[in-house]
Amino acid sequence: MSGVVRTACTRHCGDGCALLVEQRPDGSLSVRGNPEHPFTRGFLCAKTARFGERLASPRRITTPLIREDGDFREASWDEALGLIAAQITRLRTTPERMLHVFYSASFGLLHQASKLLFATLGASAFSGSPCLSAGVEALKRDFGAVRQGPLTDAATADRIVNWGRNADAQSVHLAAMLTNARKRGARVLSIHPGDPGYGGLSDEQIVIRPGTDRFLAAAAAKLLLERGLSDDARKALSRSFEPQAFLELLDGWSLDSLLEACGASLEQARTLADWYAGDTPTATVIGRGLQRYAFGGENVRFIDALAMLSGQIGREGAGVFYKQGELGNAAWGWTQAKPGYARTFPLAALAEGVALADPPVEFVWVEGMNLVTQCPDSLATAQMLRSRFTVVVEPFMTDTARCATVILPPALLFECEDVVRNDSHEFVNHSAQVLPPRGQARSNFHIAAALGAMLDPPVVYPDPDDVMDAALRKGKLKATLAELRDKGWLGRPVPSTPWADGVFAHPDGLYRLPDALHPNAPAQDEFPLRLLSFVQKDHLLSQIPEDEQVSPPRVFVSPDSPALAGLDQTRPALLETALGSMTVRVDILDTLHPEAVLYPRGDWLSRGGCVNRLITGRETDMGAQVAYYEQRARLVTAPPSVI
């Protein structure tokens, strides 16, 4: 490459940054945010700024690998794809014996290519999600559809309630918005279970018992109602379906019982009610963790209900911000094909579902996620993959790759062209190719198309330029690939202030208030701590270089944690759940709730880590999301034999 190349990030992040990339004289890459992009505005996260290190890593896999006699050997693409094609041919008359596990390591359009192959074959797939689906379903149940104003609108509010969105770790642009909002005089209240990163972005904080957000929201709603029905409350109730049932639901809980459930004080609940009361616009930003509990969807529904009851839905400069929803700017469904997936297995219990499958699963394709590290019950997941013919599309020897029969090396960001969606702004970005793929790596599209061509009859892929052009022409942008390449990004304004007319997307136009408030499962004497596994600030999910992984891994507890009683902090400890145990080092985190133990997620089994080996697969109350944070745990001093 020569000069500066205008491109865009495709990684699993909703910020959707536009980038400028330049190769330095020593061959390394300078990656910076494009200052002309209306959302990126010239800056980006450190994770992507360092992406050149990932591209050039000496540990990167750049040629196909085939397992032989327990070890991997290099192979040509023809040999590797031929071996895979033979397995597909053998199973083609019973395609449900093939399992396609695909997730969004990239938000690129072409990255989805293998979905076309396996949907055409009629293979099996997984259902549910590791992220967001409980909250998405909650929004659909409440509003009838997922719809929010531009995320930048949240920063224009006079008050912002940040309900568990750790912007410091997850979104550099949201963090900048909150900082700038406070500079102009807005106030930010953050509600969370004590993970670090909120202090510098908040005027006030409320630390609550993990997974109990719905009780705090219900307490604030109850306090608002006890002050007498305001005009806003009356209007909200008149636009809701069977509002009396919701009022009776709140009446069935005393204020003391709600506060006891969430661990907040009466003063804190009154503070929250004050933030929502009155005519001051209050924006609610909902986080990415509070829906990862057994009643994660219900948590979101009660936060929505508090915003609705206080008149903050449909008010300019207010509203709820969780997920942008599908804008339709481009048509993303090019991989849909008949006959479609034959059956699905729930992600929360994938290994168990596959073990019980009839007919059995004999072939697994994993792409776009480090399945072993990211799936609950990681040891069972690894065993499931090792005992079958498993193909893993992966650039590093992750825990999932170690289970493979064949590893196929994909091209990465900057090494292939794509059209990119995002979840924080209205623009479709063009991700231009900056460098040729390293070694023998190929784009995900190229891999799927080449494999499809080997089959008899073949699965024929269109030209990738035609796929990108058709997606833009068929979407609401009515644009062309040539236009996107020329301009770098294209978008249509997102309507501000959804639901301003008081008409919701349900057939009757009415809002739906929650119809139940479920208590948490009682605390367990044997396992008194709630195991939380929040994202790390410095790395995207499990993309942690092996050399930077700490063994034994570090976990954090509050200085007031009951786990410290009898624990020798000078020695390693055992983090134990009903599923197993692992050796850890225990550190103190002053902000953390006493009932939590925090394990920063993403490290690998092969490096002595992987929190998900201790997490039993459970689904949330709605959306079939994995309830990672429902796991109970304890800490004990490790015996000398494991030190």
Structure tokens at 43: 């800056």
Torsion 132-137-143-146 (CA) sign: positive
Whether 555 contacts 549, CB under 8 Å: no
Banded model confidence at residue 595, pLDDT cuts 50, 70, 90: very high
Q: Is the pLDDT of residue 240 over 80?
A: yes
Q: Is the pLDDT of residue 524 over 90?
A: no
Residue owning tokens 């945010």: 33
Whether 133 contacts 481, CB under 8 Å: no
pLDDT (mean) for 328-335: 97
pLDDT score, position 621: 98
Could you tell me which residues come within 8 angstroms of residue 408 by beta carbon, excluding any fewer than 6 positions away?
64, 80, 391, 392, 393, 394, 442, 447
pLDDT score, position 569: 87
Structure tokens at 376: 């609950």
Residue owning tokens 């306090």: 223
Q: Is the pLDDT of residue 397 over 90?
A: yes
pLDDT digits (tens, 9 = 90+) for 533-583: 999 988 998 999 998 999 999 999 999 999 999 899 889 999 999 999 999
pLDDT digits (tens, 9 = 90+) for 401-423: 999 999 999 999 999 999 999 99
Residue owning tokens 């030209």: 463
pLDDT digits (tens, 9 = 90+) for 75-113: 999 999 999 999 999 999 999 999 999 999 999 999 999
Phi and psi at 293, nearest 5°, equal -110, 170
Phi and psi at 22, nearest 5°, equal -140, 140
Which architecture does CATH list for 529-642?
Beta Barrel (2.40)
Report the candidate in 27, 51, 35, 34 with the shortest Cα–Cα distance to residue 413: 51
CA–CA distance, 101 with 246 (Å, rounded to integer): 40
pLDDT digits (tens, 9 = 90+) for 5-33: 999 999 999 999 999 999 999 989 999 99
Single-letter amino acid code for the residue at 61: I
Domain covering 64-76+88-110+336-408 in this structure, CATH number = 3.40.50.740
CA–CA distance, 579 with 616 (Å, rounded to integer): 7
SS (H, E, C) 178-245: HHHHHHCCCEEEEEECCCCCCHHHCCEEEECCCCCHHHHHHHHHHHHHHCCCCHHHHHHHHCEECHHH
| Percent of the chain predicted with pLDDT > 90 | 93
Banded model confidence at residue 642, pLDDT cuts 50, 70, 90: low
Domain covering 133-322 in this structure, CATH number = 3.40.228.10
**Domain boundaries of the chain, sorted by first residue:** 1-59+413-450+458-490, 64-76+88-110+336-408, 133-322, 529-642
Structure tokens at 152: 């930048």
Could you tell me which residues come within 8 angstroms of residue 518 by beta carbon, excluding any fewer than 6 positions away?
295, 298, 621
Whether 566 contacts 164, CB under 8 Å: no
592: Cα separation from own chain's centroid: 22
Q: Is 459 left (phi over 0), alpha (psi -120 to 50) or beta?
A: beta
Task: Give the Cα-Cα-Cα angle 617, 538, 46 (nearest 5 degrees).
Answer: 135
pLDDT score, position 2: 64
Whether 136 contacts 148, CB under 8 Å: no
The secondary element (H helix, E strand) that includes residue 354 is: helix 350-355
Q: Is the pLDDT of residue 171 over 80?
A: yes
Structure tokens at 138: 């909650």
Q: Is the pLDDT of residue 56 over 90?
A: yes
CB atoms near residue 234 (< 10 Å): 12
Which architecture does CATH list for 1-59+413-450+458-490?
2-Layer Sandwich (3.30)
Could you tell me which residues come within 8 angstroms of residue 254 by beta carbon, excluding any fewer than 6 positions away?
none
Does a cis peptide bond (omega within 30 degrees of 0) precede residue 359? yes
Q: On the CB side of 185, how many CA atoms lie within 13 Å of its CA?
A: 1
| Percent of the chain predicted with pLDDT > 70 | 99
Angle between the N-to-C axes of helices 296-309 and 231-238, in degrees from 0 to 180, rounded to the nearest 10: 120
Whether 31 contacts 9, CB under 8 Å: no
Single-letter amino acid code for the residue at 423: D
Average pLDDT, the chain: 96
**Could you tell me the CA-to-CA distances from 315 to 163, 304, 327, 444 in Å, in that order?**
19, 14, 21, 44
Any idea what DSSP says for residue 9?
A: -
Whether 625 contacts 129, CB under 8 Å: yes
Structure tokens at 558: 């509050």
Whether 335 contacts 318, CB under 8 Å: no
pLDDT score, position 1: 57
Single-letter amino acid code for the residue at 492: R
What SS3 state is found at 567?
coil
pLDDT digits (tens, 9 = 90+) for 364-382: 999 999 999 999 999 999 9
Single-letter amino acid code for the residue at 216: L
Torsion 605-610-615-620 (CA) sign: negative
CA–CA distance, 476 with 382 (Å, rounded to integer): 42
pLDDT digits (tens, 9 = 90+) for 256-298: 999 999 999 999 999 999 999 999 999 999 999 999 999 999 9
Structure tokens at 206: 């409320």
